[in-house]
Structure 1
């Protein structure tokens, strides 16, 4: 039996590579006769560049950029051919902030702009920016400042400051767009939400990043003002099919990473599902062609998993090949019907009961391997 092991990271405990190694060890503990192929995955969030660097014949360039509070932090740019792969979480990730520092009213994406500029300086023709796991909510204004749209003092000090932005603060937007017009910018995100509204960046995600309900509303107002000023500086283009204006704040993925997707749309970028970009880059279709079973997983399998995350992306891809997919997440909040509708033939969480949580956190790799070893007894053909 050929088993393809393709998990995402287990946020806060295991990288995708560590999770894949633990799953492989557990499976082979029970079924040493099986062939196990490991391919760690990402949906654009933390681990995006690391996952791709393991599968692509590219070169990793180290750089130093600003974190969400302006402090220096190491980051990487993966160059494969004429394409650069960047991970926004390396510069704007929530994991870079201590709990006491998590305040999306003042965190900035300036460092992500520095990452993009580093890629452009390397002479690439395409830039793929993985979005996810951010601790920011500034509509990508910091990124724009780093690329010369305005000053860091006006655009790179957090989302709340955008309430006071003027047309003069965005005087460099046309020049920035001109500089990027010959570069294909792909926005690889697991979120397809717009910038504003009940499904937008502030309403859905700001509180997860440390904002109070009142701050989330203030951020919504600030980002709305920012978008209205942008529209005056750069009136939206007309959709050739409908004749209606194409407003970048309404584009799918504009609300990703606290609105970072919006800024990238402004610069001519277009969105692709993060997991689909990764699956294509690692040659997942070819790997599926030789697989009898796929084992995947992530930290928490919940309603968000159904919208662009790794597990469902893997299940969708495998369905086209008729390969069954099972999942071993850290925990699961999905019912049997939802799991089956997502294309999963089985879900086997590491933590089934609250009493198991402490053990799992103490030894995440060991408990994941043990769970997968038990799963293999069900799914691997026995040999006498």
Structure 2
């Protein structure tokens, strides 16, 4: 039996290559005769550069940027030369704003900043890259990209834009006066935001309500962040004026510029970094699809009998632009079944069927098993894969 193992990372416990290796090892214990191929994936979050480099090659450039707390941290760019000589710079935003950069006791998305992402983009443009692709996901921030904009020259370097999402309710037109000029300065760069989820900036499934609690926000703080992001969005779009105003004579949508930018899929990714990049003229694309294209995933799936994918927690977010959904969509297109092995599974059978997933298996099915999985993530994942293989292998 030919099996493609194509997981994402497992939520800070295993990288995608480590997860793929554990799944492979466990499967082979039960089915040593199977032909197993591994293809670690990413959705734009942690592991984005590592996954792309394995397929595209290129060279890493070390840089130092600010963390979400304003402290210096190491980061990297991936530079890839195209056949036409044009250079693409890939940026992993989690190098600058990743949740592991903030100790649990200091996690507060009302204060953390995305300033370091702006420093990464500035360094990428400085290499002469004509295309800059920013992977979004796994952030500790919820500032709508305000800090990133400050690092690129919008507002004062230590002004209100750098102080986290909680202070954005006090943003004024003066703080954003340079936004149009910064956007114009990037017009010769093809700026792409590879988003890990397809959610909007605001609303029930937006950056604040959907994700801020995971970053340390209380329910009251999440509501505060929602209000602050809404104010910031109106002020920022207003600062761009005619640049983002719909052209009614050309048949453009009649929605307001604010609604068009805040509601687009991916605007809420990485605490609203998708929205901040959209303000700069970036195209928002699903990160999982961008990586899948880079590794030629559809061709790989078409050459096997079964696909095994997975991630740390398989929940509602997984069906909104994550790796699992991207794998299932491509496998469905070539009539290959997909199964999911995840740390925890909270998606029901109806949602599985709608996503084109045949079955899902949890490594940890109770509180005691969660503790065991965290203590030995690779071992417990391999043991679960061994049991799954007994069901699926011929």
CA distance in 1, matches of 2:147, 2:386: 46
- Conservation of the 8 A alpha-carbon contact between 2:302 and 2:331: no
CA distance in 1, matches of 2:339, 2:220: 41
- Conservation of the 8 A alpha-carbon contact between 2:79 and 2:89: yes
Q: Quick check: 1:188 aligned with 2:174?
A: no
1:365 aligned counterpart, secondary structure: helix
1:69 aligned counterpart, secondary structure: coil
Q: Quick check: 1:330 aligned with 2:330?
A: no
Offset from partner CA, 1:57-80 (integer Å, 9 cap, x none): 211111111100110111111112
Q: Quick check: 1:137 aligned with 2:133?
A: no
Out of 137, 141, 151, the position equivalent to 1:146 is 151
- Conservation of the 8 A alpha-carbon contact between 2:199 and 2:320: no
Give the structure 2 partner of residue 42 of structure 1: 42
Q: Quick check: 1:286 aligned with 2:299?
A: yes
- What's the C-alpha RMSD, in Å, of the aligned pairs? 1.6
Normalization by structure 1: what TM-score?
0.95
1:153 aligned counterpart, secondary structure: coil
Q: Quick check: 1:267 aligned with 2:270?
A: no
Out of 172, 175, 181, the position equivalent to 1:175 is 181
Compare 189-198 and 68-77 and name the one that shifted more. 189-198
CA distance in 1, matches of 2:368, 2:213: 28
Give the structure 2 partner of residue 343 of structure 1: 356
1:348 aligned counterpart, secondary structure: strand
Offset from partner CA, 1:213-261 (integer Å, 9 cap, x none): 2222222222222222223321132153245243322322222111111
- Conservation of the 8 A alpha-carbon contact between 2:151 and 2:157: yes
Q: Quick check: 1:73 aligned with 2:76?
A: no
Change (3 A) 1:327 1:115: same
Compare 12-21 and 54-63 and name the one that shifted more. 54-63
Change (3 A) 1:231 1:306: closer
CA distance in 2, matches of 1:318, 1:45: 22
Q: Quick check: 1:102 aligned with 2:107?
A: yes
CA distance in 2, matches of 1:330, 1:203: 24
CA distance in 1, matches of 2:151, 2:391: 53
2:74 aligned counterpart, secondary structure: strand
Instruction: Provide runs of 4+ in structure 1 moved above 6 Å.
Output: none
Which structure 2 segments of 5+ residues have no match?
82-86
Out of 274, 281, 290, the position equivalent to 1:277 is 290
Give the structure 2 partner of residue 199 of structure 1: 205
Offset from partner CA, 1:136-190 (integer Å, 9 cap, x none): 1111011001111121211111112222222222222122111211111111112
Which structure 1 segments of 5+ residues have no match?
none
CA distance in 2, matches of 1:231, 1:289: 44
Aligned positions of 1:25-36 closer than 5 A: 25-36=25-36
Out of 54, 76, 93, the position equivalent to 2:98 is 93
CA distance in 2, matches of 1:234, 1:180: 14
Out of 245, 248, 252, the position equivalent to 1:237 is 245
Give the structure 1 partner of residue 52 of structure 2: 52
2:257 aligned counterpart, secondary structure: coil
Normalization by structure 2: what TM-score?
0.92
CA distance in 1, matches of 2:146, 2:328: 35
Give the structure 2 partner of residue 118 of structure 1: 123
Give the structure 2 partner of residue 246 of structure 1: 257
Change (3 A) 1:371 1:144: same
CA distance in 1, matches of 2:358, 2:202: 36
Compare 149-158 and 66-75 and name the one that shifted more. 149-158
CA distance in 1, matches of 2:204, 2:353: 29
Change (3 A) 1:86 1:29: same
The alpha-carbon deviation at position 367 of structure 1 amounts to 1.2
Aligned positions of 1:354-373 closer than 5 A: 354-373=367-386
Give the structure 2 partner of residue 3 of structure 1: 3
CA distance in 2, matches of 1:369, 1:318: 23
Out of 197, 207, 217, the position equivalent to 1:211 is 217
